[in-house]
Amino acid sequence: MAGDGKIEKVSIIISKGSLEGIYPGLIMANGARAEGMEANLFFTFFGLDAIHRDRYEHIKLATVGNPGLHLPTWLGSVPGVSAAMTRYMARKMDRLDIPPIAEFVEMIADTGAGLYACQASVDLFGFARDDFIGQVKDVITVGEFYDLAAGGQIVFT
Amino acid sequence: MAGDGKIEKVSIIISKGSLEGIYPGLIMANGARAEGMEANLFFTFFGLDAIHRDRYEHIKLATVGNPGLHLPTWLGSVPGVSAAMTRYMARKMDRLDIPPIAEFVEMIADTGAGLYACQASVDLFGFARDDFIGQVKDVITVGEFYDLAAGGQIVFT
Amino acid sequence: MAGDGKIEKVSIIISKGSLEGIYPGLIMANGARAEGMEANLFFTFFGLDAIHRDRYEHIKLATVGNPGLHLPTWLGSVPGVSAAMTRYMARKMDRLDIPPIAEFVEMIADTGAGLYACQASVDLFGFARDDFIGQVKDVITVGEFYDLAAGGQIVFT
């Protein structure tokens, strides 16, 4: 941060694996790049799904435990409802030119944002470097993340 | 931020639509205003419910997916349990002089905090400007949010 | 923050009471101390369970409302499944030398991080000072938290 001037850098942590848990971080990173700021994305815990080759095209909406959806819990837990709601949300996003998660992640990397996976989480889930999409720059520790984030804002999502 | 001095501004993002997802951001904004800091609230995704005319008086507690509540999942999903737990929590909050969400949001706006709705989320849910309470200053983009937040702390809740 | 230099301080808010809601904040605090930064932990709402004498050894994974777990909702809500998944996760963490939550919290306090409970939440749940582990330095208000956090990064988890 340069005094009261503009924000120069945002480092966004994505820790959740649901559709509504991943989008906010992506939208904030994309918005930062559009404004010419430096943007880093750090994927940790279930957030790793958003950069996992076999998973990032299959991210689902959480249809229980989210009163904001205005769905009764019994309905949210009926098999197929999560998939149906996810498709419904995807169609609405598409109309707003917000791409599906897989495409959006790649697009954000193309704008020059840095994508990083959290070392401890990669070990925890037993993932290997090859499980992630090529756009991921590196697997880094929390300490390395703090170094990357210095001089900017940290946003945990 | 002025060196090691006090925090001068906080810009708080409210992204969840449950009672326990909305209160922390409101309490942090209220605390910031009480200390004389500038405070902005940016409502996005399901967090928009907290400023939606027809919804902000009906915010519910999430009674499943939250082990902190110490409720078994089967009980949390019984129809009516979420409403009962929400009333119980409301009574406890009332005894602590923490107002219900609708009243709290209005009170925080009265203290001079800025309330903003996220443009992309408004479009996503098909809301119009009139769906929100009058205290909302504007519907803004992520880029405009970063401009507002410059020189302070961003807190995503 | 000293210009573009290293981050000097992080103040991490832990607001959730589930295993996957508590670990990220602890890992970030621990990583900060390992890098020689000042680290404060502020426990609020359900996050208070992580410093509650009778509860911090019994923190459970949320097995519903988390598509990242790749468990069907009906299975996540079967009694015993949350406990079984929690044990499974604990074994994996142990192999990575990440201690169970109770031990991790104490270890982080030993490194010199400051542990604080949120006054409003303590009142809300009707807790007393004695309900918390001895490592908790103080019960403080949101205003006092902002004073503590000045000159550093605030991370809400």
* pLDDT at site C113: 98
Q: Burial level of A13, CB count in 10 A (0-12/13-18/19+)? A: buried
Residues A23/B47, Cβ–Cβ less than 8 Å: no
Reported confidence tier of residue B2, pLDDT bands at 50, 70, 90: very low
Three-state DSSP at A132 gives: strand
Residue B47 has pLDDT above 50, yes or no: yes
Residue A115 has pLDDT above 80, yes or no: yes
Whole-angstrom Cα distance, residue A30 to residue B117? 18
Percent of chain A with pLDDT over 90: 69
Across the range C45-73, mean pLDDT stands at: 86
Residues B6/C147, Cβ–Cβ less than 8 Å: yes
Q: Which two tokens stand for residue B105?
A: 């949001």
Residue C3 has pLDDT above 70, yes or no: no
* pLDDT at site A2: 41
Helices C101-110, C19-34: axis angle to 10 degrees equals 20
Between C88 and B114, the higher pLDDT residue: B114
* pLDDT at site B4: 59
Q: Is the dihedral of CA C7, A146, B25, B111 positive or negative?
A: positive
Model ipTM over 0.85 = yes
Percent of chain C with pLDDT over 70: 97
Residue A70 has pLDDT above 80, yes or no: no
Q: Quote the Cα angle for C13-C113-A114, to 5°.
A: 60
Structural Rg of chain A based on CA atoms: 16
Whole-angstrom Cα distance, residue B112 to residue C122? 28
- C-chain residues within 8 Å CB-CB of B74? 77, 79
Across the range A35-54, mean pLDDT stands at: 97
**Number of Cβ pairs < 8 A linking chain B and chain C:** 98
In chain C, DSSP finds a helix count (H) and a strand count (E) of 6, 5
CB contact (8 A) between residue B150 and residue A6: yes
pLDDT, tens only, B55-86? 999 998 887 777 777 777 777 777 777 788 88
Average pLDDT across chain A, whole number: 90
Across the range A128-145, mean pLDDT stands at: 97
Residue B15 has pLDDT above 90, yes or no: yes
Q: Quote the Cα angle for A89-A91-A92, to 5°.
A: 65
* pLDDT at site A65: 76
* pLDDT at site C144: 97
CB contact (8 A) between residue B15 and residue A93: no
Beta pairing partners, A16:
none
CB contact (8 A) between residue A66 and residue B62: yes
CA distances C124 to A148, B99, B106, C155, Å, are 38, 12, 21, 23
CB contact (8 A) between residue A64 and residue B77: yes
Instruction: Residue C148: name the closest of B72, B138, B4, A83 by CA.
Output: B4
CA A16 to chain centre: 8
Across the range A31-45, mean pLDDT stands at: 97
Between C73 and C30, the higher pLDDT residue: C30
Average pLDDT across chain B, whole number: 90
Helices C19-34, A142-149: axis angle to 10 degrees equals 70
Across the range B44-50, mean pLDDT stands at: 95
Beta pairing partners, C156:
C13
Between C64 and B153, the higher pLDDT residue: B153
* pLDDT at site C4: 59
Rounded to the nearest 5°, which phi and psi values hold at B154? Answer: -100, 130
Between A27 and B78, the higher pLDDT residue: A27
Between A4 and A112, the higher pLDDT residue: A112
Across the range C110-120, mean pLDDT stands at: 96
Between A136 and B1, the higher pLDDT residue: A136
* pLDDT at site C28: 96
* pLDDT at site C2: 41
Q: Is the dihedral of CA A77, A131, C94, C108 positive or negative?
A: negative
Question: Which of the residue ranges A137-146, B103-112, C16-25 would you say has the lowest mean pLDDT?
Answer: C16-25
Residues A25/A153, Cβ–Cβ less than 8 Å: no
For residue A72, give how far its alpha carbon lies from the nearest alpha carbon of chain B (Å): 8
Across the range A63-69, mean pLDDT stands at: 76
Q: Burial level of A135, CB count in 10 A (0-12/13-18/19+)? A: middle
Superfamily of domain B9-62+99-156: DsrEFH-like (3.40.1260.10)
Q: Which two tokens stand for residue A152?
A: 């900017």
Q: Mapped to the 3 state alphabet, what secondary structure does C23-41 carry?
A: HHHHHHHHHHHHCCCEEEE
Across the range A11-40, mean pLDDT stands at: 96
Residue B3 has pLDDT above 70, yes or no: no
Reported confidence tier of residue B1, pLDDT bands at 50, 70, 90: very low
* pLDDT at site A4: 59
Whole-angstrom Cα distance, residue B127 to residue B123? 6
Helices B142-149, A19-34: axis angle to 10 degrees equals 70
Count of alpha carbons within 13 Å of A12, Cβ hemisphere only? 28
With DSSP H G I counted as helix, E B as strand and the rest as coil, what are the percentages for chain C, rounded to 5? 45, 15, 40
Helix or strand holding residue C117 (H, E)? strand C114-118
Q: Please report where in the chains the tokens 């849910």 appear, as a residue.
A: B125
Of A17, A143, A145, nearest to C67 by CB-CB distance is A17
Residue C125 has pLDDT above 50, yes or no: yes
CB contact (8 A) between residue C23 and residue A45: yes
Whole-angstrom Cα distance, residue B24 to residue B35? 17
Three-state DSSP at A82 gives: helix
* pLDDT at site C150: 97
Count of alpha carbons within 13 Å of A100, Cβ hemisphere only? 13
Between A117 and A98, the higher pLDDT residue: A117
Whole-angstrom Cα distance, residue C148 to residue C11? 8
Chosen from C9, C13, C15 to mutate, greatest number of chain B CBs within 10 A: C15
* pLDDT at site B5: 83
Count of alpha carbons within 13 Å of A8, Cβ hemisphere only? 12
* pLDDT at site B24: 95
CA C75 to chain centre: 27
* pLDDT at site C116: 98
For residue B83, give how far its alpha carbon lies from the nearest alpha carbon of chain A (Å): 11
Reported confidence tier of residue A63, pLDDT bands at 50, 70, 90: confident
Reported confidence tier of residue C68, pLDDT bands at 50, 70, 90: confident
Instruction: Residue B27: name the closest of A13, A17, C122 by CA.
Output: C122
Residue A83 has pLDDT above 50, yes or no: yes
Chain B residues with CB within 8 Å of chain A CB: 1, 13, 15-19, 21, 44-47, 49, 59-66, 76-77, 79, 82, 120, 123-124, 126, 141-143, 145-147, 149-151, 153-154, 156
Instruction: Residue B7: name the closest of B26, B35, B30 by CA.
Output: B35
- Nearest-Cα residue of chain B relative to residue C146: B7
Of C15, C65, C66, nearest to B24 by CB-CB distance is C15
Residue C31 has pLDDT above 80, yes or no: yes
Across the range A137-153, mean pLDDT stands at: 97
CB contact (8 A) between residue C156 and residue B157: yes
CB contact (8 A) between residue C67 and residue A45: no
Q: Is the dihedral of CA B30, C147, C141, B157 positive or negative?
A: positive
